[in-house]
Amino acid sequence: MTTETRLRIAMQKSGRLSDDTQALLKRCGLKLNVSDRRLLAHVANMPIDIMRVRSSDIPGLVMDGVCDLGIVGDNTLEETALERELMGQKSQYFKTTQLNFGGCRLSIAMPEEFNYQGIDSLNGLRFATTYPQLLNRFAKENGINIEFCLLKGSVEVAPRVGLADGICDLVSTGATLEANGLVEVEEIFRSKASLIQTATPLNSEKQSILDTLLPRIQGVMKAKE
Ligand code: PRP
Ligand code: MG
């Protein structure tokens, strides 16, 4: 156990979940100023620090006990857990609360002209994705062999430039797929944001901060229903 007495929460610095995460923390009464470039923001009225990082780093920071809590998409969480399992690294954490924002799906999409005849028609093709582990699990479960090409963003551009036959990426409104001439053919994972907690036991100071914060988070979630 550490002697640190401020609860440390990891959140996405910028991207899909950052505005909703910030709004949630503010509605919980936390006074924080994250508009500057400081990556470790002190909450003024509670012993809490907010660490602002890339979303893909959040699960590992919580699993390794660097951060006590994290707010992250289930897609990133599951991808990291599979990746760490493969590397023989521990991936323990508690999913404390399922949050009611950040809803999206991870789907396979193909160019409009592709003649989709079911999962078997994807066999032997190459896919651009940010989520190779989740896609690989889907391929294994469905008995198909596929190739991967890792892209961290703008995945939808890959088929048009000849980098891949199809893609596997997040879909929310579907506007990005449509704008890039792609059609969703298989949904492989449904995701929302989650509040996760380190499996490392918290010291009593941190536990009591969490005991104050958690009912507030749950209250905000209930009010939004
Ligand atoms: C995300 C995601 C999809 C898109 C889905 O990308 O990777 O591309 O949003 O949203 P939609 O279905 O509402 O269009 P983002 O805009 O975050 O950019 P990036 O992939 O380049 O990081
Ligand atoms: Mg994108």
pLDDT over 70, % of the chain: 98
- Ligand 1 centroid vs 137 CA: distance in angstroms? 22
Interval between CA 108 and ligand 2 midpoint (Å): 13
Alpha carbon of 131 to ligand 2 centroid (Å): 12
β-pairing verdict for 193-198 and 166-171: unpaired
pLDDT at position 74 is: 98
Q: Is the CB of 175 under 6 A from ligand 1?
A: yes
Give the residue-averaged pLDDT of 95-112.
97
Which atom of ligand 1 is found nearest the CA of 169? 7
Best of 14, 16, 20 to mutate for ligand 1, by most ligand atoms within 8 A of CB?
16
Q: What is the rounded distance in angstroms from the CA atom of residue 136 to the CA atom of residue 11?
A: 27
pLDDT in tens, 126-181: 999 999 999 999 999 999 999 999 999 999 999 999 999 999 999 999 999 999 99
- Of the candidate ranges 34-48, 83-97, 106-120, 197-211, the one whose mean pLDDT is the lowest: 34-48
* Mean pLDDT, the chain, integer: 95
Query: Does the Cβ of 174 fall within 6 Å of ligand 1?
Result: yes
Which CATH architecture fits 104-190?
3-Layer(aba) Sandwich (3.40)
CA-based angle 77:38:99, to the nearest 5?
30
Same fold, 7-102+192-224 and 104-190: yes
Q: How far is the CA of 202 from the centre of ligand 1 (A)?
A: 35
pLDDT at 224 over 70: yes
Helices (H), the chain: 18-27, 58-63, 74-87, 132-141, 175-179, 204-224
Ligand 1, atom nearest to 172 Cα:
12
**Complete DSSP assignment for 135-167:** HHHHHHHTT---EEEE-SS-GGGTTTTTS-SEE
> What local confidence, expressed as pLDDT, does residue 1 receive?
46
Residue count of the chain: 225
pLDDT at 36: 65
Its ipTM equals 0.98
Mean pLDDT, rounded, for 93-103 = 97
Residue 2 is predicted with a pLDDT of 53
Show me where the domains of the chain are located: 7-102+192-224, 104-190
Report, at the CATH architecture level, how domain 7-102+192-224 is classified. 3-Layer(aba) Sandwich (3.40)
Task: Flag whether the pTM goes above 0.90.
Answer: yes
